[in-house]
Structure 1
C-alpha cells in the first residue's frame, strides 16, 4: 500500500466518522492522523472526479456521492469485519495484534494496553506514521513499529521488535491481497502461521472472481496511484491457501453477508443514502490448526 492509497483509506474512515449519523465504523483518530490541508486536498480531488465515478450525477454533494457510493464502503466494511474478529480473539486469549501493511490504520491505538501491537509497513511509511501519531499526541505505548518489506523475509524484523511466536496472535492483512500475486499472498499467510502459536487467527479482504463497475473504477484508481491489482480469488483458492498454511477457514463473507451484518442498521436509518458492500470484494477469517478453537 503506497502513501496515497493509505491517505485515501484514512480519509474514508475520517469522512464516515465525521459525517454519518448512523456509523458503521467509528474512527475518531483518523482525523487526527491527517492534516487539515490533506483533508481539504483529498476532498477537492474527489469532488473534481465526480465525472469519473458517476458521469450522470446531478446532485449537490459530489463528495458524499463518491465517498459513500465508491470509496468508503470497502474501507469501512473491512475495518468493521476486522474489529469484530479482533475483539473476539482478544476475548479468547490473543495477546498480540500484528497489522501487516498498516498504513495509517488506527485500530491498534484503541485496544487494551496489555495487548502488544506490531505495525508492519515499508520503513518510510512507518517513519511517517510515527511522526503523525506523535504530532497528534496519540498514546503509542503498546505499539511497536516494524519497517520491513512484506514481499521478503520480514520475520526477523518482527522478532527483533519483541514479537513472541509462541503467543496467541491476531493478524490483520487488510488491503494486501489486491497488490500481491496469489503465490506471494499465499506465502505471506503461510509465513505468519509458521511463526505463530496454535489458534492464532488472521483476517483479510480479497478481490473475488466477480466484477462490477465499482471494482473496475477502483482498479483504474489503483493504477493511477502507482499500484496494480495483481490477483483475484475464488473460495476454492482461499481454502487451498488455508490448507497449505496449516489453517482452517472459519468465515468467508461476501457482500451480502457484510450488508446484513454491518450495513443493515445504517441502511434502515438512512434508506435514501444506503451504503452497500462492494460485490467484488470478500472477507476471510482463518485460524491456525491445533488445540480447541
Structure 2
C-alpha cells in the first residue's frame, strides 16, 4: 500500500466509462473522467480491451466492442452497484438525522465534489492511506476544483492499530453525532480479524443509530463453486499486487457484526442487486445488459 491503489484507479475508470457511454446510468459520476489523465484513460482502455482474451476467450469483435464487453461484464458491476447502494442509503440516513459521512478507503470517490443539496448539511470525512490520499489531492488540485467547506481529509492505515486517532483528532469530527460510514471495496483485502477490528473500532466511536455500509465476497468466492467472473477477479487482484484475503457466509457475517454491536438492516444478494439497482439501465440497454457481480453481497448495518 506504499503506492497509489491500482484497483482504485480502475474503479474510477469504470465509473468514468459508464458515465460517458450511457444516457440511462446505474450510477452517474461525471467527475471520475476528470480525475484521470488522457494517458491513464487510454492505457487502461487499451489494457482492458486486450484483456478480453482472459475474461472471454470466445469473444469476436472490434477493440472498442471488446472494451465495452470487459467494462460492462467485469469492471463496472461492483463499483457502480455498491456506490448506488451506499449513496441511496446515505440519503435516507441524512433525512433521518445523520450529520456525518465517513468514507473509508475513499480512493477516487467524488461524492464531496458533486454532493446534492441535502448533503451540504453533512460533515464529510475522506479517510484513506496516505499514498492514495496524496495522489487524489494532487489530481483535485490540478483540476482547480474548490474543496467543499464540509470536506475533511484524514490519512489512515487500517493496519495501524491506532488509526482511529486521526479521525477522533480531526477538529470537525464529533463523537456524539449519528454518522454514516462507507467501507466499499475493503472487506476483500483485509484479513478477517483485521476487518472485524475495523468494524469494531468504527462502531465503538459512533453513537447508537449510526450506520455502516459495505460490500463483501461470499463463502464460495475462493472455491471452485464461485462464478467465473469472481474467479477471474481474484486472479486479477493478485496480479495487481492487491490480493483478496477473506470471504464470508451470511451466518458468519451476522455473528461477526453482532460481536461488535451491529445488526444487519439491509442485505442484497447479486440477484436482488441486479433487480433493484440495474433494472432501469438494463431496460434501456438491451444489447449491453449488466448483472451484479458473482458472489458479492451488499450490507447495511446499524449500531444497536
**TM-score tier (shorter):** over 0.9
**Counterpart of 2:199 in 1: which secondary structure?**
helix
Count of paired positions: 289
Which string of whole-angstrom CA distances, capped at 9 and with x for unpartnered residues, describes residues 21-56 of structure 1? 221100001111111111111101111111011111
**Counterpart of 1:99 in 2: which secondary structure?**
strand
Identify the residue that residue 125 of structure 1 maps to in structure 2.
Answer: 132
Q: Is residue 2:137 matched to residue 1:139?
A: no
Please, which runs of 5 or more residues in structure 2 have no aligned partner? 221-225
Q: Is residue 2:215 matched to residue 1:200?
A: no
CA distance in 1, matches of 2:141, 2:208: 35
- Picking from 69, 75, 81, the partner of 1:77 is 81
Alignment of structure 1 residues 156-167 onto 2, 5 Å = 156-162=165-171, 163-167=173-177
When the two chains are superposed, the root-mean-square deviation of aligned CA atoms in Å is 1.2
Identify the residue that residue 9 of structure 1 maps to in structure 2.
Answer: 11
- Picking from 179, 187, 190, the partner of 1:180 is 190
Identify the residue that residue 245 of structure 1 maps to in structure 2.
Answer: 260
Identify the residue that residue 285 of structure 2 maps to in structure 1.
Answer: 270
Which string of whole-angstrom CA distances, capped at 9 and with x for unpartnered residues, describes residues 71-108 of structure 1? 10111011111111011111111111111111111123
List structure 1 segments (4+ residues) > 3 angstroms apart after TM superposition: none
Q: 1:32·1:136 contact (CA, 8 Å) conserved in 2?
A: yes
Identify the residue that residue 34 of structure 1 maps to in structure 2.
Answer: 36
Q: Give TM-score scaled by structure 2 length.
A: 0.92
**Counterpart of 1:274 in 2: which secondary structure?**
coil
Please, which runs of 5 or more residues in structure 1 have no aligned partner? none
CA distance in 2, matches of 1:261, 1:199: 25
CA offset at residue 164 of structure 1? 1.2
CA offset at residue 197 of structure 1? 1.4
CA offset at residue 272 of structure 1? 2.2
**Counterpart of 2:287 in 1: which secondary structure?**
coil
Q: Give TM-score scaled by structure 1 length.
A: 0.96
Q: 1:254·1:279 contact (CA, 8 Å) conserved in 2?
A: no
